[in-house]
Copies of this chain bind each other. A is one copy, B any other.
Amino acid sequence: MATIKDVSRLANVSISTVSRVINNTAQVAPEKREAVLSAMKELNFRPNSFAQALVSKRSNCIGVLVGDLCGGPFFAQMMLGLERVIDRANKFTIVMSGNHDEQRERHAIEALLQRQCDALILHSKALPDEELLELTHGDTPIVFVNRVVPGAEERCVWLDNREGTCCAVRHLISMGHSKIAFVTSDDSDFTDAKQRFEGYKSGLEEAGIALDPQLVTSAYADEVGGHKAVEQLLERNVEFTAFVGFNDAMAAGGISCLMERGLQVPEQVSVVGFDDIPYIRFIRPKLTTVKYPIESIGEQAAELALRLLDGKNSEDVRLKFVPEMVVRDSVKQI
């Protein structure tokens, strides 16, 4: 790989001049500039980004920690939002996945930091609040996604999960339902699960409906889990006219369980999901759900990170997102 020295030699100028034309950092005589340009082309020169980073103290990289790239389209969508703005700022994205494992998350963050990322965007599920808070004291700007870290609220971009399930319940109630089940994740120290359950409870409470523990069922938070959970629910022989799913996948699994038993959705049971994942359009009936605006969240998180980096004020960055209902065909008025 050719270096700046090679170019300077070929163009018969000093390395500073070359540097100047590379970075447009000062005026250079047109003829010399031409000479440099053609020398660069001839040698297929590309500035060594490490040398640049070493001296300029800027890596132009934003490090991103995600749960896992493959757990559904979720992170992919977030990345889409992130990339859009990071790209526009002419920076790079380095992605690492923590796979929801504490050790791995810690290691990934460590690695990102060591890479001298200019800023970090973290979607950490496994690390404790204190550890995350600690990180914000370092000299690398850090932004948290989908999580509120106490003491670092102004660096968190997140969705109000509680409000989400609450909306879902409200919607069902407005459609005449009152026996509403909740099909949730069995990972009870998963913050999202707690919050969504809270939302379910307060939605009922608002309407003066007592919580019936028999109507709450849980399993692993995917389609298979949803299927199982609804199966359990059915076995309990409690009456319900609707259920809210922890996420769309569980809702879809639950629906297939109902259908297998000859129960029609929404004729006999209404269903509301959560997330509005793209491939929900494959599900029949079209699922009514709560939108998780993950792409926008990604965008705002990146925006915030860049602001922090530039020391610009970040007041107009949206931190807290409020979910909205997406009404489709899986809820029936009764």
Contact = CB atoms under 8 A, between A and B. Distances in A.
Interface of A: 1, 46-51, 53-54, 59, 68-70, 72-73, 75-77, 79-80, 83, 92-97, 110-111, 113-116, 139, 223, 252, 256, 259, 279, 281-284
Given A93-B95, A223-B281, A279-B282, A115 B49 contact: yes
B93 A80 contact: no
Given A92-B94, A95-B93, A139-B1, A70 B73 contact: yes
What are the nearest 9 A-B pairs in CB distance?
A: A70-B80, A50-B50, A50-B53, A69-B79, A279-B279, A46-B114, A50-B54, A69-B76, A76-B76
7 contacts: A46-B113, A46-B114, A69-B80, A70-B73, A92-B115, A93-B95, A282-B283
Copies of this protein in the complex: 2
Contact of A70 (B77, B94, B252, B282): B77
B46 A282 contact: no
Contacts of A68: 80
A77 B47 CA distance: 33
Given A1-B139, A54-B54, 20 more contacts: A46-B113, A48-B54, A49-B116, A50-B54, A50-B59, A51-B54, A68-B80, A69-B79, A69-B80, A73-B73, A73-B76, A92-B96, A93-B94, A93-B95, A94-B95, A223-B282, A252-B282, A259-B284, A279-B279, A282-B282
A281 to B, nearest CB: 6
Contacts of A139: 1
B95 A96 contact: no
B59 A70 contact: no
B69 A83 contact: yes
B83 A111 contact: no
Nearest to A82: B69
A103 to B, nearest CB: 13
A282 B114 CA distance: 42
Contact of A284 (B59, B114, B256): B256
B97 A94 contact: no
B283 A50 contact: no
A288 to B, nearest CB: 16
Contacts of A46: 110, 113-114
Nearest to A55: B50
Nearest to A48: B116
A299 to B, nearest CB: 13
A70 B94 CA distance: 17
A93 B59 CA distance: 15
A189 B284 CA distance: 34
Contacts of A111: 92
A50 B54 CA distance: 6
Contacts of A93: 94-96
Nearest to A94: B94
Nearest to A110: B46
